[in-house]
Structure 1
C-alpha cells in the first residue's frame, strides 16, 4: 500500500484571500457589465474548484486517507462557496445600508455540514433569513444558485427563517437531521447562533428516544431497499448495509445525545474502547476512500461498487495480485471485513444506548423506555439471564471463567428463540479471542456447536450472529479463512461465508418441511437421511477450499477432514463429510451438462456416488448450494434436471452396481421404450410407422400423451415441411417448443437462430431423428428475466412457434444483427474460452463441451461449426454461470458414430474456439477495467 501522506494545508490548495482578490479584480475590470462580471467570476471559481479537486485526487491516489480527502474537498468547496457569496453580496447585489430584513446567513447542512464531501456529492445549503424574504435576499439566493449550478454542483437548498427551521424540524426527521449537522459558512453569525441555540433547546431537548427510534427505523428501511445483506457482492458504499450511511446514523444519534461544537469531535469516543475506536476510524476512512475513488473514476456521483469498477478501484487503492488471489478479490474482501466491523460497531453502540435508556424495546417502536422501570431480569442457565425479551450474560467473567460459554450463549439464544442483548454481543465479540486450540478440541464445545448447526431452530440466524461476533471463525479456523471472501464473477450474489450460511438455512428449511412446494423430492428424502450432522457439516465446510492448493474440491476435502477431526468426529463421518465436500459440484455438473437419458451418464454418476445414502445427501446439498447462490438462480428447470438424474441413479442402485450400472440403465430404457411403443401403437394405428422409426431414447423422455402429440405434429410436418408447437411449462420454469421437420444439415442452427431472434434464451434442447429422416427437436426456453418465455403473453409464444416452422422449412431466418458495443459489467471479466471433446462420457456419441463468454445467439454460433463439420447434434445442454456460458453437445458423425478422425476433431475445435472468441469484447471497445489474470475455469 502507498505510504500515508501528511494532510495538505488548505491554503496550499485554494488560497481564499487570493481567490477573493481575483474576483474583486475581475469585477472592477468589467464594471458596468454584470454579465461579463459573472462570466469572469465563474471562470475563476471553476479553475479554483478544478485545481482543488485535482490536488485531492492526486493525493488520494498517492496514499492520502479517505477522511483527509473528503475534508480537503469540503474545504475547497467552502472557499469557492464563500468567495461566491462575497462576490455576490459585494459586487452584484450590495446592500450599502442593509436593513434588518436583509440579513442573510449561509449554512452547510447534511453531509456537507459535517465537513466531508465526495468529489461529486450534492451540495446541501441553508439560506437563513430573519424574516420573510425580501427582494434583496431573493436576488442574492437566485444569483448564487444559478452560479453554483453553472459550476457543476447539484445543489439541495432551502431558504427559511429560524422559526421555520425549528417548526419544520419538529415535524420532519429528515429536516431535523440536516439541521443537526448545520455548519455556518458565511453571512450573519447571529442568525446561525440563534438557530443552533433554539434547535437544541426547542427540538432536541427531551426527544432523544423518538429520534433514535426514527433513525433506526429509517436505517432498516434503507437497508431493505439497498439489499438486506452487507455481503452483496456489488455493494452500495453509501446506502448499503455496513456502508457509510450506517456510520452516519451512529454519528447522528451520538450528536443528538452529546452535541459537540467541532467537526473533529463527531463521535463521543468514550462510548467505545480502544479497539472499537480504531475500528471506527479505520472503517470510516476506508469507506470514504472507496467512495472518493468511485467518484473520481467515473466522473459522477457513483455509489455502487459494480463488477466493472471493482478492479479499477482495487488498482487505485494499491492492491496487487498475491499468489492465486487477484487484486480485486483481495480488495473486496477488505471491503466486506470493514462492513462486518461496521455491523459490530453498530451493536456496541446500541448497547451503550441501552445503558443510557434512550433506545426502544427491540419488538416494535410504539413504547419508549424513557420514564419506564428497568426491564425485569429472568435467571436462565448459570451466567445467563433474560432481560427485556433478550438474552444477556451476567458479565464478561462468564466467558473468562469458561470460554465454552461463548458457544453456549448462541445455543441458548437459539433454543429459547431470543435476540441477543447488545451487551451480550459486545462481550462475546470482545472475548472471542479466548477460543483457542484447547476450546476447539473440547468435546463439550463440539457438542454445543453441533447442536446449533444440525439441531438448531434457526441455524442460519444463529451462525450469522456467531460469524459477526467473530466466534464462528475462531472456533472453526477453516471457516475464518473464507469470511468476507468474494468470488469475482457475476454468478454469485454474496460473499462465500454469506452464501454458505444461506445454504445451511435452506437445508434447515427443507428439514422443517417448509419448502415442500419448491423442493418436493428433497423434502421427501430428507427424513430418510441417516446422518444429518454430516450433511450440515458438509454444507458449512463445502466452500472452505476456495483458493486452496490443488483446487477447490481437494483443498475443501482437506479442510473438512481437519475440522471434523478437531471436532472429535468418528472416522466414518469424517470421510463422509470430506467426500461430500470434494464432490459437492458433481451432481449439478452431471445434471446440467450431461444427457441423463444416456445410460453412460447415469452409470458414471452412480459409480462416483456408490450408495443411496450418498445420493440422498448429495441431492439435498446440491439443491441448497444452488438456491443460496443468489436471487433467481434456482428454478424449476434445474430442479427437473436434478430429479431426473436422481431417479435414474436410484434405479441403477435397485438394479445393479459398479460395472453392472450401464447394463441396468440400458435394460431399463429398452424395456420402457418397448412398452411405450406397444401402448401407443395400440391407441393410434396410423402412427405405428412413426413410432417404430423413432429411437429408444425418445420414448424414455416423454409420457404417452406427449408422444401422441408429437406424432400428430410429425404428420402435419410431413405434409407442410415443418410444424411447431409451444406450451408454457410452469413446473420447469421454461416454455417447451417442439419442432418436427425433415432432417437436413444446419436445421438445428436455423432453429436456434430463430429462437435468438425472438429474444428467447435456450436452457436445454433434445434432438431426435427417426430412421426415416424426420427430426423432432425439443427446446426449453426462457426470457431475459429467467421466466418461462411467453408466460405472460401467449401470442408471443405463438409467434415464436410460427417462426420455428418457417425456419424448419428452410426459409431465411430474420435475425436483426445486434452489434455488441458495450458489455457493461461483464467487461470487467477476462474469460478464457475452452473446448473439450470427450469420447468416454457416452457409449454412442462424442460429448463436446464449449465454455466462454455468454452472449445472445451463442448457441446458434456454436451449433454452426458442428453442422459445418458434418456432425449431427443429439442433445444440447445449456448452462450459465454469470458472465460465462457452458454448453455441452452430444454429437455423432454422418454414420451415427463417435467422432474419432483427428483432422475432423481438430477442425471442430478450431471452429468452436472462433465462435467463442467472437463473444469476447469487440475490437475498439476497451473495458474500464479488466482482470489481469484470465481464469481458465469458472468458479462455482
Structure 2
C-alpha cells in the first residue's frame, strides 16, 4: 500500500510542478486524472473481486477534469444477477482507496438501481452522463451507458436542468458570494459551462466538453468565434480554480479574500496607483462570468429550439439576415419594441446573438446621431421595462458601447470594505431601486421616498444619473467630480435642456452630500442645516438627492442600511425642507422646543414640577441638540430620581425609531466616564451608533447613547434593558474601567487592510475640536479610541459613529486644554493612529 500511496503522491507532485513551471490547464487535469486512474486500477486488479462488476469514474473525474483538491467520484456498478453475499467483497476497497490518499465519493449500485435512481433524480442522471470506464466488466459499463442514453427525455432533461440552474443561481447570488464568488456554482461560473455540455449531450451531440461544442457547429447553434470565447472563459476559470486549490491546500471553491491578492500576483497582475492587483483580478473574473452567463443563455435557448423544433412564440425573434450595419437605428429600436410589448418574454437566442454582435456598429458616429440619442433617452422614459431593458443592454455590451466610460467600470470591484457589487452592477442596482420607487406595488417599502418620486417630474433623469454617478471610480481624483465631467460631456453631446443638464451634473457631483452630512454632522446645528439647504438650492434638487441617496445606500450593501440611517436621512430632509420654506426660526428656537416638550409632558400627566427639577440645570445647547420628544422623555424619566437629589442613574428604552436601544446616563461628571461607558457596551457586544454628551450646570453628565446589537443575539429587549440599567449604573458607581477588548480583525480587513486616515482640527468660531477618522472597523474600536482620548485628558462632547460594513467613519467633538498646544495635540494624533492601525 505504501508503494501505491507514494507513487500516487509523486505523480501528483510532478504534475503540479510541471503546471507551476508552465501553467496549462489540460495537461494538469489530464495528468491528475491519470494518476488517480492508475492507482484505482492497480488496487482493483490486486483484489479478487467478482467479475460481474465495474469501476466507473463519474462527475468531473469522469469528465477527465480532476482538479488538485477535487473529490474523486466513483460508481461501483454491480450486475443485477450478482448474489447479495458477494457485495461484501467491495467494502474493504473503499477504505483502501482513502488509505492511499484518494478523496473518494462513491456509490455501490446494481444496474437496475442506477437506472431507477437516474429516472427519479436529475442530479444522478447528470452524473451518469459523464461516466468513464476504469476497470472490471466493460460490457456491463457499456450497457449502463446505452440504456441511460435511451432513457433520457431531452425536453424533460432541459426543463429540469434549467430549474436546477435557476435555484443554484439564487443560492449563489448572496451578497457575500459577490465578494467571494464560488468558481463552480456562482452565476457565470464553471457549472454554467457544464450545463451547456450536459444539455448538448442529452440532445445527442458529441460527449465530453469541447467535443460537444464542436458538434453543435454544423447545426448553426454557435459559431467558431463563440467556441473560442467559451473555451477561453473555461480556461481562465479553470486556472483560477487550480490556483485556488493549490493556495488553500484543501477543497475550496470560493475565491476567498485571503487568496485573491496572491492568486492575482501568480497570474502576473500588478497593482496600479488606484487599484489593487486583486481588484484587477476580480474585474477579469466578473467580465468572464458575464460572458459565460450570456453564452449559457443563448445556447440553452438554442438547444431548447432544437429539441422542440420551433422558436418560442413569446420571444422577439429577428431574421438571420438582419442588417444592423446598414440600419444601425434598429439596434435600440429592438430594445424599445421589447419594452412596448409586455406580452414578449424576451429576445430569441438568434436575436440575442445578433444584438451582441451589433455592438461593433456602435461607434463615435453612432453616438453622435440625434436619432440614436433620442432612442436611448426614450428607453429611460418608457412606462415599463426600464430596469429589464438596461440590464439586457448591459449583458449584450450595448451600454458600454454607447457610454464608453461605462465599459471601463464593468466588473470593477472595490475592496473598500462596504461595496458588495462591482461598480457596473451597483449602478444598475441603484437604477433598479429608483425604478421601484416609481411603481405603486412597492410603495410600502419606502413610503416617503415613494411619495416624493410620484411627484418628481423627470424620473428618467435620476435613472441616467445612476449610470454616471460612479462612472469615474478607479481613476485618480475625486470620482464625484470626475463623474460630473463625464455627465457634462454626455449632456452636451445629447443637447439636453439646460435645466435637465444642470440637475444631472449637480446630482452626480453631490450624490454623497446628503449621506455624509446626515451621518457625520450635528443635525441640531442650524448652521449645518442652512449650509446643506443652500447647497441644494431648491426643493427639486433636495428631492432628487434624497431619492438618490436612499437608493444608493441600499444598492451599495443592504447590510449597512438601518432604521437609524433611514431616520437620519429623513431628519435632514425635513430640516432642509423647513429651512427652504422659511420655518427655520420657529422650529429651531429654544423656547419652541420647551413649549413642544411641555405639551408632551402634560399628555403624560406630568406637572410643571417635572421640568422645574431638571431644566434650570441645563443650558440652551441641550435644548437645541434634542428634539421635543427626546426632551420630554428624559425629563419625565429623570423626574422621580432627581426629587431625591442628583444621583447615578441609567435608564433605557427601545429606540423610538424602531431599531436599537436608547440609553440615558445621569451621573456626577468625572474624567474617563465616556470611555468607561463605551467599554461596557463593547464588552456587551453592542455597537454605539450615536452618543450625545452633555454636562449640566452642576457638573453632572446627562449623556444619551443609541446602541445596537449587530449580531442580533438577544431575542427580546426586556432582559437586556434591565441588565444595562443595573450593571452599567454599578460600574459607574464603582468607577471600574473595563479591560481592553481583544483585537479580532475580520478576514476581509486582514486581506485588504485599510490605511487609517485621521483629521483633528479646531471648529470654526468655537473652542472645541473636530476629530474625524476612517479606519477598518473591529469590536471595541470605539472603546479603544475613547480610552486613548481619556489617557490624554480630552473630553468627548458628541460622537457620530458611522459604520459601512467593515469600515468605520467616525466624527467626535472634543474639548481639552491640551488641544490648544501643538506638541500634545500631535502626540494624541500619533496615539490614535496607533490604535487605528492595530486593525491593519
TM-score, normalization by structure 1: 0.83
- Which one is further off, 749-758 or 906-915? 906-915
Describe the SS at the equivalent of 1:835: strand
Determine if the alignment matches structure 1 residue 199 to structure 2 residue 145.
Answer: no
Determine if the alignment matches structure 1 residue 46 to structure 2 residue 46.
Answer: no
Among 692, 714, 724, the residue aligned to 2:616: 692
The aligned residue for residue 4 of structure 1 is none
Q: Kindly state the Cα deviation for residue 888 of structure 1 after the two structures are TM-superposed.
A: 0.6
Question: Structure 1 CA distance, aligned partners of 2:169 and 2:180?
Answer: 14
Among 340, 345, 350, the residue aligned to 1:415: 340
The aligned residue for residue 73 of structure 1 is 32
Question: Structure 1 CA distance, aligned partners of 2:297 and 2:438?
Answer: 31
Question: Structure 1 CA distance, aligned partners of 2:652 and 2:472?
Answer: 44
Determine if the alignment matches structure 1 residue 649 to structure 2 residue 598.
Answer: no
- 1:261 and 1:287, CA in 2 relative to 1: closer, same or farther beyond 3 A? closer
- 1:354 and 1:461, CA in 2 relative to 1: closer, same or farther beyond 3 A? same
Among 317, 323, 329, the residue aligned to 1:404: 329
Stretches of structure 2 lacking an aligned partner (at least 5 in a row): none
Among 143, 147, 150, the residue aligned to 2:92: 143
Among 104, 129, 149, the residue aligned to 1:180: 129
The answer as to whether partners of 1:673 and 1:696 remain within 8 angstroms in 2 is: no
Describe the SS at the equivalent of 2:257: coil
Query: Within 5 A, what are the aligned runs for 1:798-817?
Result: 798-813=722-737
Q: Deviations over 1:319-350 (max 9, x none)?
A: 11234232111110000011011111112202
Query: Within 5 A, what are the aligned runs for 1:242-253?
Result: 242-253=188-199
Question: Structure 1 CA distance, aligned partners of 2:585 and 2:789?
Answer: 29
Question: Structure 1 CA distance, aligned partners of 2:624 and 2:714?
Answer: 27
Among 444, 457, 460, the residue aligned to 1:533: 460
Determine if the alignment matches structure 1 residue 797 to structure 2 residue 721.
Answer: yes
Determine if the alignment matches structure 1 residue 235 to structure 2 residue 181.
Answer: yes
Question: Structure 1 CA distance, aligned partners of 2:765 and 2:521?
Answer: 9
The answer as to whether partners of 2:79 and 2:140 remain within 8 angstroms in 1 is: yes
Query: Within 5 A, what are the aligned runs for 1:641-680?
Result: 641-655=568-582, 668-676=588-596
The aligned residue for residue 914 of structure 1 is 834
The answer as to whether partners of 1:129 and 1:161 remain within 8 angstroms in 2 is: yes
Describe the SS at the equivalent of 1:248: helix
The answer as to whether partners of 1:713 and 1:724 remain within 8 angstroms in 2 is: no
Describe the SS at the equivalent of 2:574: helix
Determine if the alignment matches structure 1 residue 725 to structure 2 residue 651.
Answer: yes
Question: Structure 2 CA distance, aligned partners of 1:487 and 1:842?
Answer: 38
Question: Structure 1 CA distance, aligned partners of 2:188 and 2:656?
Answer: 38
Describe the SS at the equivalent of 2:779: coil
Determine if the alignment matches structure 1 residue 328 to structure 2 residue 278.
Answer: yes
The answer as to whether partners of 1:510 and 1:522 remain within 8 angstroms in 2 is: yes
Determine if the alignment matches structure 1 residue 393 to structure 2 residue 352.
Answer: no
- 1:129 and 1:885, CA in 2 relative to 1: closer, same or farther beyond 3 A? same
Question: Structure 2 CA distance, aligned partners of 1:666 and 1:51?
Answer: 83
Question: Structure 2 CA distance, aligned partners of 1:842 and 1:107?
Answer: 82
- 1:348 and 1:63, CA in 2 relative to 1: closer, same or farther beyond 3 A? farther
Among 517, 520, 538, the residue aligned to 1:611: 538
- 1:841 and 1:452, CA in 2 relative to 1: closer, same or farther beyond 3 A? farther
Describe the SS at the equivalent of 2:667: strand
The aligned residue for residue 505 of structure 2 is 578
Q: Kindly state the Cα deviation for residue 216 of structure 1 after the two structures are TM-superposed.
A: 0.7
The aligned residue for residue 869 of structure 1 is 792
The aligned residue for residue 16 of structure 1 is none
Among 247, 250, 258, the residue aligned to 1:300: 250
Question: Structure 1 CA distance, aligned partners of 2:618 and 2:78?
Answer: 88
Describe the SS at the equivalent of 2:487: helix
Question: Structure 1 CA distance, aligned partners of 2:597 and 2:210?
Answer: 84
Query: Within 5 A, what are the aligned runs for 1:329-348?
Result: 329-348=279-298
Q: Kindly state the Cα deviation for residue 678 of structure 1 after the two structures are TM-superposed.
A: 6.4
The answer as to whether partners of 2:560 and 2:803 remain within 8 angstroms in 1 is: no
Q: Kindly state the Cα deviation for residue 810 of structure 1 after the two structures are TM-superposed.
A: 4.1
Stretches of structure 1 lacking an aligned partner (at least 5 in a row): 1-40, 96-100, 359-369, 376-386, 657-663, 921-940
- 1:78 and 1:456, CA in 2 relative to 1: closer, same or farther beyond 3 A? farther
The aligned residue for residue 749 of structure 1 is 675
Question: Structure 1 CA distance, aligned partners of 2:411 and 2:328?
Answer: 25
Q: Kindly state the Cα deviation for residue 312 of structure 1 after the two structures are TM-superposed.
A: 1.7
Q: Deviations over 1:542-568 (max 9, x none)?
A: 000101232212221122122222333
Describe the SS at the equivalent of 1:632: helix
- 1:810 and 1:219, CA in 2 relative to 1: closer, same or farther beyond 3 A? same
Question: Structure 1 CA distance, aligned partners of 2:697 and 2:741?
Answer: 39
The answer as to whether partners of 2:560 and 2:805 remain within 8 angstroms in 1 is: no
Describe the SS at the equivalent of 2:64: coil
- 1:72 and 1:913, CA in 2 relative to 1: closer, same or farther beyond 3 A? same
Determine if the alignment matches structure 1 residue 901 to structure 2 residue 824.
Answer: no
Determine if the alignment matches structure 1 residue 759 to structure 2 residue 709.
Answer: no
Question: Structure 1 CA distance, aligned partners of 2:592 and 2:827?
Answer: 38
Among 839, 843, 856, the residue aligned to 2:762: 839
Determine if the alignment matches structure 1 residue 282 to structure 2 residue 232.
Answer: yes
- 1:603 and 1:49, CA in 2 relative to 1: closer, same or farther beyond 3 A? farther
Q: Kindly state the Cα deviation for residue 721 of structure 1 after the two structures are TM-superposed.
A: 3.1
Q: Deviations over 1:291-322 (max 9, x none)?
A: 11111111111111122221122122221123
Q: Kindly state the Cα deviation for residue 801 of structure 1 after the two structures are TM-superposed.
A: 2.8
The aligned residue for residue 622 of structure 1 is 549
- 1:228 and 1:887, CA in 2 relative to 1: closer, same or farther beyond 3 A? closer
The answer as to whether partners of 2:675 and 2:790 remain within 8 angstroms in 1 is: yes
- 1:458 and 1:465, CA in 2 relative to 1: closer, same or farther beyond 3 A? same
- 1:447 and 1:131, CA in 2 relative to 1: closer, same or farther beyond 3 A? same
Question: Structure 2 CA distance, aligned partners of 1:321 and 1:539?
Answer: 28
Query: Within 5 A, what are the aligned runs for 1:410-809?
Result: 410-417=335-342, 418-420=344-346, 421-655=348-582, 668-676=588-596, 683-715=607-639, 716=641, 719=645, 721-729=647-655, 731-785=657-711, 790=714, 792-809=716-733
The answer as to whether partners of 2:524 and 2:626 remain within 8 angstroms in 1 is: no
The answer as to whether partners of 2:257 and 2:748 remain within 8 angstroms in 1 is: yes
Q: Kindly state the Cα deviation for residue 541 of structure 1 after the two structures are TM-superposed.
A: 0.6
- 1:154 and 1:720, CA in 2 relative to 1: closer, same or farther beyond 3 A? farther
The answer as to whether partners of 2:130 and 2:208 remain within 8 angstroms in 1 is: no
Question: Structure 1 CA distance, aligned partners of 2:757 and 2:734?
Answer: 31
- Which one is further off, 478-487 or 825-834? 825-834
- 1:415 and 1:905, CA in 2 relative to 1: closer, same or farther beyond 3 A? farther
Question: Structure 1 CA distance, aligned partners of 2:460 and 2:249?
Answer: 52
Question: Structure 2 CA distance, aligned partners of 1:466 and 1:731?
Answer: 40
TM-score, normalization by structure 2: 0.93
Determine if the alignment matches structure 1 residue 160 to structure 2 residue 109.
Answer: yes
The aligned residue for residue 57 of structure 1 is 16
Q: Deviations over 1:799-835 (max 9, x none)?
A: 12322222332442555x6534664332101221221
Question: Structure 2 CA distance, aligned partners of 1:299 and 1:701?
Answer: 56
The answer as to whether partners of 1:549 and 1:555 remain within 8 angstroms in 2 is: no
The answer as to whether partners of 1:724 and 1:739 remain within 8 angstroms in 2 is: yes
Q: Kindly state the Cα deviation for residue 790 of structure 1 after the two structures are TM-superposed.
A: 4.4
The answer as to whether partners of 1:600 and 1:841 remain within 8 angstroms in 2 is: no
- 1:730 and 1:165, CA in 2 relative to 1: closer, same or farther beyond 3 A? farther
Q: Kindly state the Cα deviation for residue 736 of structure 1 after the two structures are TM-superposed.
A: 1.6
Q: Kindly state the Cα deviation for residue 176 of structure 1 after the two structures are TM-superposed.
A: 1.2
Q: Kindly state the Cα deviation for residue 354 of structure 1 after the two structures are TM-superposed.
A: 3.5
Query: Within 5 A, what are the aligned runs for 1:917-932?
Result: 917-920=837-840
Q: Kindly state the Cα deviation for residue 116 of structure 1 after the two structures are TM-superposed.
A: 0.2
- 1:767 and 1:228, CA in 2 relative to 1: closer, same or farther beyond 3 A? closer
- 1:757 and 1:58, CA in 2 relative to 1: closer, same or farther beyond 3 A? same
The answer as to whether partners of 2:774 and 2:808 remain within 8 angstroms in 1 is: yes
Question: Structure 1 CA distance, aligned partners of 2:86 and 2:418?
Answer: 56
Q: Kindly state the Cα deviation for residue 869 of structure 1 after the two structures are TM-superposed.
A: 3.3
